[in-house]
Chains A and B, each alone.
Chain A
Amino acid sequence: MQSDEEDSALHSCFDSLKSAVMGCCYSICHKENDTQENIVNERTHLLEVPEQTQETPVPVASASTPPRKPDEQSALNRILHETATNVIDVGALGPYALEPGAYSERVRAYTARVALAPQPPPPAPRLLADVPHAERTGLLARPGLPNGDRDLITNAVKKAAAAISELRVEHHEDLVVPFRVP
């Protein structure tokens, strides 16, 4: 029985102690939170967040949807205008017309410039030039090489080739000659 009483007394004591400690902790934490802005400790922000960034999105988000539309429209219009000024519409320019006076003047100027330019070098003399058509047909119509001439050269070359194929070095003297060393 005594033990039960002691146990219950201990429990109540622990409970009260626990609540006291927790309350104390909470109070400390709470106090620290309150004094956080002034005291530099491990919970203070290293980088101060500017207040405007936190505040500005809120009013914009709240009042954005209706008044933003004209802004977008104007921005789009501005982009369109800039693009239109940068683009050159060739088709809309129309044909390039030149005044007759300016045209003749340019012709004169260009002719003068061409006349001043150095003349191209004369073509190199060709060793084998084309003969005129009439002369060519006359030459080609003439009879070719006579058979006598053809036989002459053919036989001559054939005989020469045969003679050269039989060309041999004839041995007459000793290849090794003793030097007359005294």
Chain B
Amino acid sequence: MEKDLDKVIEEIMSTPNVNGCLVADHQGLCLASKGSAHVDSAGVIVAISEQACKIQPNLKPPTVCLETDKKQCLIQRHGTITGAIYKQKA
């Protein structure tokens, strides 16, 4: 049933420097999470992507990048799905 989604998640996690991944729907419900990404952060991630989309609503959803000295969190929306990738800085 969710095999395809699991496969996609595994594929993302196999990317170098990626140590977390999360997928949520438009209401903030976590659909999949792996690694350092916590299920509870799904709502916050969706909210961030929603607010970012309001900056220029006519353009396609922007990519949000939260970063610290060592880590990075990439957030993007596609339709009703919001994805987040946690990554170590190269």
- B-contacting residues of A (Cβ < 8 Å)? 145, 149-150, 152-154, 156-164, 166-170
Counting chain A CB atoms within 10 Å of each CB, the highest count among B8, B11, B75 belongs to B8
CA distance A156 to B72 in the complex (A): 16
Which of A145, A159, A164, A169 interacts with B31 by CB under 8 Å? A164
CA distance A153 to B87 in the complex (A): 11
Residue of B nearest to A168 (CB): B1
Residues of B within 8 A of A166 (CB): 4
**Majority SS of interface residues in chain B?**
strand
Which of B1, B4, B18, B65 interacts with A170 by CB under 8 Å? B1
Question: With A145-B63, A160-B23, A161-B78 given, is the CB distance from A153 to B5 under 8 Å?
Answer: no
| Contact between A163 and B1, CB atoms less than 8 A apart | no
Question: With A145-B65, A160-B8 given, is the CB distance from A153 to B1 under 8 Å?
Answer: no
Question: With A145-B65, A149-B65, A153-B83 given, is the CB distance from A160 to B5 under 8 Å?
Answer: yes
Residue of A nearest to B21 (CB): A156
Smallest beta-carbon distance B25→chain A, Å = 8
Which of B7, B21, B75, B76 interacts with A163 by CB under 8 Å? B7
Interface residues on B, range: 20 to 34
Question: Hey, what's the 0/1 contact readout for B53-88 against A, CB within 8 Å counting as 1?
Answer: 000000000010100000010111111111101010
| Contact between A154 and B63, CB atoms less than 8 A apart | yes
**Majority SS of interface residues in chain A?**
helix
Which of A157, A162, A167 interacts with B76 by CB under 8 Å? A157
Q: A153-B75, A164-B25 are in contact. List 14 more A-B contacts (CB 8 A).
A: A149-B65, A149-B72, A150-B63, A152-B74, A156-B21, A156-B85, A157-B78, A157-B81, A159-B11, A160-B9, A160-B23, A161-B79, A162-B4, A169-B1
Smallest beta-carbon distance A37→chain B, Å = 103
CA distance A159 to B87 in the complex (A): 18
Residues of A within 8 A of B37 (CB): none
Residue of A nearest to B25 (CB): A164
| Contact between A167 and B5, CB atoms less than 8 A apart | yes
CA distance A159 to B76 in the complex (A): 12
15 contacts between A and B (CB under 8 A): A149-B72, A150-B63, A156-B85, A157-B83, A159-B8, A160-B31, A160-B32, A160-B78, A161-B78, A161-B79, A161-B80, A163-B7, A164-B5, A167-B1, A167-B5
CA distance A123 to B7 in the complex (A): 50
Smallest beta-carbon distance A111→chain B, Å = 48
Near A by CB (< 8 A), chain B positions 1-56 give 1-2, 4-5, 7-9, 11-12, 15, 18, 21, 23, 25, 31-32
